[in-house]
Amino acid sequence: MRPYPRHPGQAATILAGPLLALMIVFAVVHGVWPLFPAWPSGVSAWLAGVLLWSHTPRRQRVQVGVLAVLGLAGLAWGWHNGGPVDAAAVIDQNHALLSMLAAVSFLRLVSLPDAAQKEAPPRGGHAYLRTLVGIHLFGAAINLSAVVIIGDRLARQGTFDKRTAILISRGFSSAALWSTFFAGMAVVLTYSPGAELPILIAVGLPLALTGLVYTYAEALVTDPSRLAAFSGYPIHFQSLWIPGLLAACVLLTHVFRPQWSVLTVISLLSPLLTFVVLERRCGCRRSLAEVHRHVDLHLPEMSGELLLFLAAGVLAVGLSSVFASFDDRLPFAAFTGTTASMTLIVMVGLAAVGIHPIISVTAVATWLAPIHPDPTLLAMVFLMTWGIGVASSPLSATHLTIQGRYGIESWRFFRWNLSYCLFMLLLSATLLHVYAWLA
């Protein structure tokens, strides 16, 4: 196995990648065999987080520190006021969703559309539509990597303007409404245990497609001349068969092994399917080398998400202790279509002013736990918050990435996406009422 070059300064974090791989293994074993404890996975995640702390941007370290301090303050408050204090839960609160995020990253090895980089770009309205759908589908499979790959190509072509930025922002963020490989889905399934995944996809996918149609129609009506001159990305949809196969395997496994959580199934199948495809393409030796390289070099790249979700776990445990000390002081007695819609509007509003959805999801899930809301209805609210809130927030990872790489100020997205977000909120509230009525 040939050695490969390492990034400068990687020696300080050489153990982070293997620790994250161990986190996945321990989480899968716990999910399949519950007698195996969850804390080894949590400990692996925390050790990796400590190693990667100095390699995380300062802004994120500040946010992580604030969340952790608030969580610890909540634990202290709960202890002082007689609420339950589960300090041990801090270790493994979010280990399953972090394991899923790390496991899904292996799909980059077999799903990245590298061949398209050498092709001539398509042009016109049809190219805009294909690029919009392409960023949505590739983003649903390989997450933020799709924004960078497609965005860099469009920037080299000189077409990265307001219309392109809107395309990437909405096309990518709307994938959070249904994709089983998105961080949002992992968070939702963690904080809404018992939610029906097929129903979430059945509601989220048409909602996302409607958002794409709205975006294309808006461009067609408001800027037809620029749309006609648009230089797009040469999307190859056949490269999506791997994520599609994985999604089908996840749903089938969930049907035949319902006692396994969806997070466990995705964490198990993502690396396994990736290795099988790699082995068929380039043989066992090179496949092992590619997996080894990914573990060492690319798993540590999730340091921002790792630290954020670890801190969010501390916050969740602290909030649980605080809210338990409030007895029955809740905002409403039942979680209906109306109260679900009100909750969605508030959570998207918080996202628009910079509050990350993981924070509001954690708080709301903990706050509403005593009234035992319908987990699928609650999960729908959380997914809609993630998909719409990311498009409205100037501080989302998507918009900060666009600002950092392509020089478009992230605050502009609030104004550019305002009508889109209001439309999606109205449609989402309607769907919530319909589901609540049917249920």
Mean pLDDT of 34-56: 91
- Name the more confident of 138 and 207: 207
Mean pLDDT of 317-324: 76
- Give residue-wise pLDDT tens across range 255-313: 788 888 877 888 898 899 889 988 888 888 888 999 999 998 888 888 877 887 888 78
pLDDT over 90 at 24, yes or no: yes
Distance set, CA 22 to CA 95, 173, 205, 295 (Å)? 11, 30, 33, 10
Distance set, CA 406 to CA 77, 230, 233, 313 (Å)? 44, 17, 16, 33
pLDDT over 90 at 205, yes or no: yes
List the single range of 224-228, 344-348, 404-408 with lowest mean pLDDT.
404-408
Q: What is the pLDDT of residue 55?
A: 83
Mean pLDDT of 172-187: 87
List the single range of 1-10, 161-170, 171-180 with lowest mean pLDDT.
1-10
pLDDT over 60 at 406, yes or no: yes
**Burial class of 183 by CB neighbour count within 10 A (0 to 12, 13 to 18, 19+):** buried
pLDDT over 70 at 206, yes or no: yes
- Give residue-wise pLDDT tens across range 84-108: 677 777 888 888 878 887 888 887 7
Q: What is the pLDDT of residue 168?
A: 94
Mean pLDDT of 44-48: 94
Q: Give residue 5's pLDDT band: very low, low, confident or very high (50, 70, 90).
A: very low
List the single range of 218-227, 337-346, 403-412, 425-434 with lowest mean pLDDT.
403-412
pLDDT over 80 at 421, yes or no: yes
- Give residue-wise pLDDT tens across range 152-170: 788 877 767 888 899 999 9
Separation between Cα atoms, residue 136 and residue 336, nearest integer Å = 31
Rounded mean pLDDT of the chain? 84
How many Å is the maximal CA-CA distance in the chain?
A: 66
Q: What is the pLDDT of residue 90?
A: 83
Separation between Cα atoms, residue 22 and residue 16, nearest integer Å = 10
Instruction: Collect all residues with Cβ–Cβ distance below 8 Å to 374 and sequence separation of at least 6.
Output: 335, 436, 439
Q: Give residue 3's pLDDT band: very low, low, confident or very high (50, 70, 90).
A: very low
pLDDT over 90 at 78, yes or no: no
